Amino acid sequence: MKKLFIVLLTIFSVSLFAAENQYQFNSAQEEQLFRELTAELRCPKCQNQNIADSDAVVAKDLRDKVLELVQAGNDKDQVVDYMIDRYGYFVHYKPPVTPLTLLLWILPLGFVVLGFVFILLTQKKQAKKKAQWSEADEQKLAALIAKYKESA
Amino acid sequence: MKNKTLMLVPFIIFAVLCVFLLKGLFGNPKEIETGRLGQTMPAFNLPDLMDENKRWTDKDLLGDVYLLNVWGTWCPTCLIELPYLTKLRGQGVKIIGLYYEQNYDPDFGDSFDLAALQREVKGMLSRTGDPYQFNILDLNRTLALDLGVSGAPEHFLVDKNGKIILHHTGDINERVWRAKFAPKLLELK
């Protein structure tokens, strides 16, 4: 069992190694940028896989394109913009700040603030009610208690 | 009275949230936005699938409203929609095929046999009906990448000036055509 495990592990690590070495880079910087981009770009064909992980044809095409663009000296934003031009915002895992996505940040904060205001207001109201308790109210209450005791 | 209307607020928020979430639940996750929508066809210069000596460019396609169908013989959904597309051609819709070659990858030393592909395409189209005016061969999927194609079949409705009006992922059938394409086509005419 253990031997089998070791054999399997060897096979898989070899194939992984092969995949890693498929791309040739001119510098460590280039490789770093390529890894960042392929991790951040989403495969348009598969739901929720980045293009580094996906085996889809389009993911391979996009990887090749990223490499080509990186080697041509494009920076990160330029490559991301190139992809968004073709595949829309969907292709990038980091959503841009647009009025619609801003709502996702503001809305929860708004709910918290609103809840706080609500609590404050109700407490104030309650305090007001307590303050309005008068001598006449006190006498009325005493009369009611007396009446209850009589009937009991 | 004021209090009662105030009580309605959480209910309204809940209702709006429900609509929003239900929309997400029944939406089509494949229906992704396209970067190219509303823009003109990207420039290209690619060979004809059936005639090696003939080349097509984006300029050749101007002047007519047409449906660009990204397809391949390897794609089962494409096979299913071919008879319907053929029917559309009969109704006067101009359909141009963009042949999306899936398996060819020079990095892995694959060789490409055009004659074999031509035979395969001819065989398939003789069985299902041929909806295409002509087919453009996108061997390295460069035009497909510029169009934001993620697989096959995909469809682009393009107007006379080469502007992309519609991008549809998946097959075209009676329902899709009536709901999505027919109204746009009417607008263009």
Q: What is the 3-state secondary structure (H, E, C) of A97-139?
A: CCHHHHHHHHHHHHHHHHHHHHHHHHHHHHHHHHHCCCHHHHH
Does any CB of chain B come closer than 8 Å to the CB of residue A47?
yes
Does residue B5 lie in a domain region?
no
- The parts of chain A modelled with pLDDT lower than 50 are 16-18
Structural domain tally of chain A?
A: 2
From the number of C-beta atoms within 10 Å of its C-beta (0-12, 13-18, 19+), residue B18 rates as exposed
* Domain end position, chosen among A91, A122, A143: A91
In chain A, which residue's Cα lies nearest the Cα of B139? A61
Per cent of chain B over pLDDT 90 is 66
Shortest distance between the Cα of B163 and any Cα of chain A, in A, equals 14
A·B CB contacts under 8 A: 47
Contacts of A60 in chain B (CB under 8 A): 105
Cross-strand pairs, B168: B155
| Nearest neighbour of B36 by CB, restricted to A45, A60, A86 | A86
Torsion angle of alpha carbons B135, B141, B145, B150, nearest 10°? 80
Whether the complex's predicted ipTM surpasses the cut of 0.85: no
Chain B from 40 to 99: CB within 8 A of any A CB: none
Does residue B19 lie in a domain region?
no
pLDDT at residue B39 tops 80: yes
Q: Are A112 and A74 found together in one domain?
A: no
Q: Are A36 and A105 found together in one domain?
A: no
Does any CB of chain B come closer than 8 Å to the CB of residue A21?
no
pLDDT of the residue at B20: 85
**CATH number of domain containing B100:** 3.40.30.10
CA B85 – CA B70 distance, rounded (Å): 12
Q: Give yes or no for a contact between B107 and A24, defined as CB atoms under 8 angstroms apart.
A: no
Q: Nearest to residue B75, comparing CAs of B49, B107, B43, B103?
A: B103
Task: At B164, give phi and psi (nearest 5°).
Answer: -80, 115
**Which residue did the predictor score with more confidence, B31 or B175?**
B175
Torsion angle of alpha carbons A43, A45, A47, A49, nearest 10°? -30
Contact flag B150-A45 (C-beta cutoff 8 Å): yes
Contact flag A44-B102 (C-beta cutoff 8 Å): no
Q: Provide the CA A74 distance to its chain's centre, in angstroms.
A: 27
Q: Provide the CA B14 distance to its chain's centre, in angstroms.
A: 38
pLDDT of the residue at A18: 47
Domain range for A131 is 99-151
Q: For residue B29, name the pLDDT band (cuts at 50, 70, 90).
A: low
pLDDT in tens, B113-143: 889 899 999 999 999 999 999 999 999 899 9
In chain A, which residue's Cα lies nearest the Cα of B153? A45
Does residue B3 lie in a domain region?
no
pTM of this structure: 0.74
**CATH number of domain containing A3:** 1.10.8.640
CA B154 – CA B171 distance, rounded (Å): 7
Q: Are A31 and A72 found together in one domain?
A: yes
CA torsion through residues B106, B112, B118, B124, sign: negative
> Tokens standing for B66?
């047409």
pLDDT in tens, B56-115: 999 999 999 999 999 999 999 999 999 999 999 999 999 999 999 886 666 666 678 889
| Strands B164-169 and B154-158, bridge-based pairing | antiparallel
Q: Which of B23, B145, B169 to mutate to test the interface with A (most CBs of A within 10 A)?
A: B145
Structural domain tally of chain B?
A: 1
Domain range for B125 is 36-188
**Which residue did the predictor score with more confidence, B7 or A41?**
A41
Contact flag A87-B146 (C-beta cutoff 8 Å): no
Contacts of A89 in chain B (CB under 8 A): 33
CA B17 – CA B25 distance, rounded (Å): 12
Helix (H, G, I), strand (E, B) or coil at B168: strand
Shortest distance between the Cα of A89 and any Cα of chain B, in A, equals 8
